[in-house]
Amino acid sequence: MAFAELGSVVLDCPDPRVLAAFYAAILGGTIEDNGDWLDLRLPEGGGTLAFQAAPGHVPPKWPSPEASQQFHLDLTVEDLDAAEKEVLALGAKVLDAADRTRTWRTYADPAGHPFCLCAG
């Protein structure tokens, strides 16, 4: 029997405002600014994505056999090509999107966290 529920997923980053704005532009929602901690309340009961200031933040390496990326976000989109243009315009960087036959492409957000756009 479950005894807890997920409150939020928290991303460490050098600038919480920049990263919250990046994901709000992709996912929608409302940003609540609490100084060094910001919550992005996602629409339609989608939960909370939080951003915490982390001095000395070192982005994960992807892919890296020496160091784990820890986790990544899968974001479902209707049109991979259109979504790719949007995330790149918002400051994402391509990590792995050369194989256009796959149903996903991998990017890094402005703080270096990997995320995938997945056809849905």
* CATH 3.30.720 residue ranges for the chain: 8-56
**Main-chain phi, psi angles of 36, to 5 degrees:** -85, 5
User: Which CATH number describes the domain made up of 58-120?
Assistant: 3.10.180.10
Q: Please give the pLDDT value at position 62.
A: 81
Q: What is the pTM for the complete model shown?
A: 0.89
In whole angstroms, what is the distance from residue 6 CA to residue 18 CA? 24
Q: Please give the pLDDT value at position 54.
A: 93
Q: Please give the pLDDT value at position 29.
A: 98
Residues 6+ apart with CB under 8 A from 31: 20, 21, 24, 38, 39, 40, 41
Which fold would CATH assign to domain 8-56? 3.30.720
* CATH 3.10.180.10 residue ranges for the chain: 58-120
Query: How does pLDDT run across 14-67, given as a tens digit for each residue?
Result: 999 999 999 999 999 999 999 889 999 999 989 999 999 999 998 888 887 777
Query: How does pLDDT run across 83-102, given as a tens digit for each residue?
Result: 999 999 999 999 999 999 99
